[in-house]
Structure 1
Amino acid sequence: MRELPTTRSCPFGPPDGAADEPMTKVRLDTGDEIWFVSRHDLVRQVYGDARFSSEIDGGSHGVPLHRTEPIPGMFIQMDPPRHTRLRRLVTGRFTVQRMKALRPRIEQIVADQLDHLAAQPRPADLVTHFALPIPSLVICELLGVPYAERERFQRAGAELMRMDTTAEQSDAALLDLSAYLVELLRRPPGPGLLADMIGTGLTEEELVGLAVLLLVAGHETTANVLALGTLALLEHPAQLELVREGKAPDAVDELLRWLSVVDVGLYRLATEPVEIGGRQVAAGEFVTSSLGAANRDPSVCERPQELDVTRPRTHHLAFGFGAHQCLGQNLARMELDIAFPALLRRLPELRLAVPLSSVPFRDQMAIYGVHRLEVTW
């Protein structure tokens, strides 16, 4: 039995061998033997089937997969009806209409951050001075978290995303972030979603869990798409020009599909026997997938291995699928849709300042991307 695919020979593609078989058994480094799915239709089936539970933990930090009681408020780990109750409380804050109302403010944040980046000595780290601050500022304003206190939640969030730490280190990071958020909620927070959630019947524990989820997920994913996407465009100059010139209205979705920064590691537990792709998953067995491999399935689009920013939007799975599909996808799309062309127009001579082989990729993180991206112009 082979190991779970994790090694990438191409920094923009899914792990090597992820698409070799539509569905097979693999072994985790914890010793767990689980099902691994990579075909687009089968991945959709797994994440769209309520017989697969999300109320599990482990699979990283050396902890075997197991059924667990979800952390209060952390609805990404919950099944209905608990998941439904919490998600409904915040869904209305992330509608397309609400996101459009935020567009002028996000455009201003991007413009301000470009001024900051342009003033840096060269070479400059695009992650530190552009890709990370933009979604951090946006999610802080949306939630009512002071941006001046970002170092504490960013440090804890980054630790929680690591897959090469111990369970004790991960727990310590969660406790640190939770303690900060308890302090914030008792102040109380500034105007925003968290302040609005006070008085809705949520316990303090639920409010903290909800805040952890929205705060970390709200900036980690978008920041990594923005940094890794910029690198991908720099490595594909013809595609970069199309984005700069505004000739690729669906470029963001193509980059989301092609990069798939959230890839392997979304685990599910079969609560009863389920047939997937002609294979029988027994009750009590675990399943994971490669969203990156699924997004490059030939059924998704023609020439799926190629980056083509003029490609019409596809039915990609970069935001997941089913009940747990990314709540903030409208916000993420808009931030990226504003930031990519603004960056490329403001700095038309933007280029890598180091060889591609020297770029430090986030190979040991739950959300893929780059740790740093040294650029000049």
Structure 2
Amino acid sequence: MTANPETTTRSAAAEDYPMRRAPGCPFDPPPRLRELQAEAPITRVRIWDGSTPWLVTRYDDQRALLADRRISADSGNSHYPYQSPSQKELRRQTQTFLTMDNPEHARLRRTVTAPFSIRRVEALRPAIQAIVDAQLDEMLAGPNPADLVEAFALPVPSRVICELLGVPYADHEFFQAQSRLLVKNDTPPEQALVAQQRLLDYLDELVAAKLAHPGDDLLSELAVRRVATGELTRGEAASIGRLLLIAGHETTANMIALGTLALLHHPERLAELRESDDPALVAGAVEELLRYLTIVATGRRRVALEDIEIGGQTIRAGEGVILATDVGNRDPAAFPDPDRLDLHRSARHHVAFGFGVHQCLGQPLARVELQVVYGTLYRRVPSLRPAVDLDRIPFKHDGFIYGVYELPVTW
């Protein structure tokens, strides 16, 4: 079979993606992305399997495509630009509503929409505050220096999502270990598949237990109102539970630790936050840190269902698309002086949670958790500071959620 000369040429010219961050600049997107945003905002890149999806770097183009019904999130599509070999195998075995299109996406998502409503989540604020306070008490009573990730950033959202779902926190070492394997791009596929199956089996057993003895939690609600009525299978409920358990602690834990580190390296901004009792400033700081850091660092992945003309390019039906929201959130056309961390900026229109029908379901919960954490941690521990230099902190360059593996701090 003769190779298509156009495809061969495009592949040879395409740059590799993901791209490297600049040394000493761990909070900023790779500089090459900023150059592409200015010079070639929709361009081909080459990913791990040699395919050359389109990379979209401008904010307006990203929002337009994420809201376009001609763009598919279905990871079952043969041209879907998977993030890694393990992600390809995982998605082949089990899909969640994150990687489905309507009507299946809407059918499954609506089964868990109500518990993540703003009203329901706001009602959890006192319980989240109690978890944050208790975890800080434990950290302050323990060793100094401490690893903020293990002592605080990881336990807080893990406890919150466990209480919401009805998952025993006593099992946190198990589910955190499986989760770590699933969010790393270099996990061997066979190892990732085992981790995923272990979590699915664990959640399936929990759903079965909730059917027999329901409680006041989301898994019980799924079991009694959805599985028992035939709206969901037990396997579908377990898959939804797995998704919520992983997303519910991994993303927020990384935002707590990375956001804290960014503030520690912007002491004037940290002082503003620490010395203010204005909830509006805290809420604004959360939005600005979400924009500034954008921890979904390897792009939102999609496939074109029809030909789409955008930004002077034609994306053909069947071609893969990567929306680099980390650099989209640094687009000067949407956010003036985008590389400045400005807690007073109106940043809520960021795309850190995505956009369109697949926008993050759990964003109300993440916002409240981060507001409580950022509004409490620095006031209760005013002398908090890094215990090591920035170049000794291990950043997560090997996964599709960015953050730090450890954050040694002292006070």
Calculate the TM-score normalised by the size of structure 1.
0.96
Q: What residue is the counterpart of 2:28 in the other structure?
A: 13
Aligned mates of 1:51, 1:281 — CA distance in 2: 11
Per-residue CA shift, 1:69-114, capped at 9, x if unaligned? 6835x11011000001111111111111111111110110000010
Q: What residue is the counterpart of 1:34 in the other structure?
A: 53
Q: What residue is the counterpart of 1:228 in the other structure?
A: 258
Aligned mates of 1:322, 1:46 — CA distance in 2: 9
Q: What residue is the counterpart of 1:2 in the other structure?
A: 15
Aligned mates of 1:192, 1:19 — CA distance in 2: 44
Q: 1:280 pairs with 314, 329, 354, which one?
A: 314
Per-residue CA shift, 1:170-198, capped at 9, x if unaligned? 11110111111122222226431111011
Per-residue CA shift, 1:340-370, capped at 9, x if unaligned? 1211011111000000000000100110000
Q: How does 1:15-94 map to 2 (within 5 A)?
A: 15-21=30-36, 22-56=41-75, 59-62=82-85, 71=94, 74-94=96-116
Aligned mates of 1:69, 1:176 — CA distance in 2: 16
User: Does 1:135 find its partner at 2:148?
Assistant: no
| Partners of 1:61 and 1:166 within 8 A in 2 | no
| Partners of 2:83 and 2:298 within 8 A in 1 | no
CA-CA distance at 1:64 after TM superposition: 9.3
| Partners of 2:301 and 2:320 within 8 A in 1 | yes
Per-residue CA shift, 1:208-263, capped at 9, x if unaligned? 11011111011111110100000000000000011112252410000000000012
Per-residue CA shift, 1:122-150, capped at 9, x if unaligned? 11000001111111111111111011111
Q: How does 1:244-263 map to 2 (within 5 A)?
A: 244-246=274-276, 248-249=281-282, 250-263=284-297
- Unpaired segments ≥5 residues, structure 2: 1-13
| Partners of 2:254 and 2:403 within 8 A in 1 | yes
Aligned mates of 2:88, 2:188 — CA distance in 1: 15
CA-CA distance at 1:301 after TM superposition: 1.9
Q: What residue is the counterpart of 1:214 in the other structure?
A: 244
Aligned mates of 1:60, 1:314 — CA distance in 2: 27
Aligned mates of 1:35, 1:313 — CA distance in 2: 27
Q: What residue is the counterpart of 1:264 in the other structure?
A: 298
CA-CA distance at 1:327 after TM superposition: 0.6
Change (3 A) 1:192 1:316: same
| Partners of 2:55 and 2:321 within 8 A in 1 | yes
> For 2:300, what is the secondary structure of its paired residue?
coil
| Partners of 1:145 and 1:190 within 8 A in 2 | no
Q: What residue is the counterpart of 2:9 in the other structure?
A: none
Q: What residue is the counterpart of 1:202 in the other structure?
A: 232
> For 1:287, what is the secondary structure of its paired residue?
strand
Radius of gyration: which is bigger?
2
Q: What residue is the counterpart of 1:187 in the other structure?
A: 209
Aligned mates of 2:117, 2:86 — CA distance in 1: 37
Change (3 A) 1:167 1:65: closer
Aligned mates of 1:244, 1:343 — CA distance in 2: 8
| Partners of 2:86 and 2:192 within 8 A in 1 | no
| Partners of 1:5 and 1:17 within 8 A in 2 | no
Aligned mates of 1:223, 1:14 — CA distance in 2: 20
Amino acid at match of 1:163: N
Aligned mates of 1:325, 1:296 — CA distance in 2: 19
Which 4+ runs in 1 deviate beyond 6 A? 63-66
Aligned mates of 2:383, 2:92 — CA distance in 1: 52
CA-CA distance at 1:65 after TM superposition: 6.6
User: Does 1:332 find its partner at 2:357?
Assistant: no
Amino acid at match of 2:64: Q
> For 2:15, what is the secondary structure of its paired residue?
coil
Query: Which piece of structure 1 moves more, 181-190 or 246-255?
Result: 181-190
> For 2:395, what is the secondary structure of its paired residue?
coil
Amino acid at match of 2:250: E
Aligned mates of 1:144, 1:62 — CA distance in 2: 32
- Unpaired segments ≥5 residues, structure 1: none
Aligned mates of 1:185, 1:140 — CA distance in 2: 14
Amino acid at match of 2:109: R
| Partners of 1:70 and 1:78 within 8 A in 2 | no
How many aligned positions are there?
Answer: 376
Aligned mates of 1:60, 1:336 — CA distance in 2: 27
Amino acid at match of 2:180: A
Q: 2:345 pairs with 311, 314, 317, which one?
A: 311
CA-CA distance at 1:265 after TM superposition: 3.4
> For 1:121, what is the secondary structure of its paired residue?
coil
Aligned mates of 1:63, 1:25 — CA distance in 2: 23
Aligned mates of 2:240, 2:93 — CA distance in 1: 12
Which has the larger share of helix?
2
